[in-house]
Amino acid sequence: MFKRKIIGVLLACITLIALIQNGPTFFENRKLDRYLTDDGFDAYTYDQFDESNFALFTNEDETLLGLAEMSGDGYGTATVETLEAAPFDYIELEHEDTYYWGVRLNNNPQKVASLRIIKERGQEQHVLNRPEEDAFSNYHILKLYNVPQEDWTIQTLDQNDQVIDSIKL
């Protein structure tokens, strides 16, 4: 009986610590989820950058892809119709001088390790999955480091940096 009480107290302490550390993000994500659900959308994934929470979402038949942001200023969303044969779908959202991208991988997401953005004046690469860990996600939210100003080429790469798919924007 005494051991059960000690275990109960330890579990309560662990739960309290977890809520203190992750509580604000958890509750903000729930608020964002309610906002999306009220409009008939389902969130794929959530992320937090700076002081904002983001959700990558879709409608019931997955013909729309959207990115929502919730900050102290309120809510903001952007949506785009998805293409049936696209290797990946993407959506961008601008907040002040920063761009965020939501990406849904449609073809072989387990093989996609990173996303490369090639621009006229350079490129940037974002790690999406780690195939060697046997864990992957189809859905990602990225913070872009440079504002889009010219033509871009977006590539998905495998773990050996070989191009899997490429789309010119």
Q: Which residue has the higher pLDDT, 58 or 96?
A: 58
Mean pLDDT, residues 142-167 taken together: 83
Q: With 60 as the cut, is the pLDDT of residue 24 above it?
A: no
Query: What's the pLDDT score for residue 25?
Result: 65
Q: With 50 as the cut, is the pLDDT of residue 23 above it?
A: no
On whether the CB atoms of residues 75 and 69 are closer than 8 A, the answer is yes
- Rounded to two decimals, what is the model's pTM? 0.76
On whether the CB atoms of residues 149 and 169 are closer than 8 A, the answer is no
Count of the separate structural domains present in the chain: 1
Q: Which domain holds residue 99?
A: 2-168
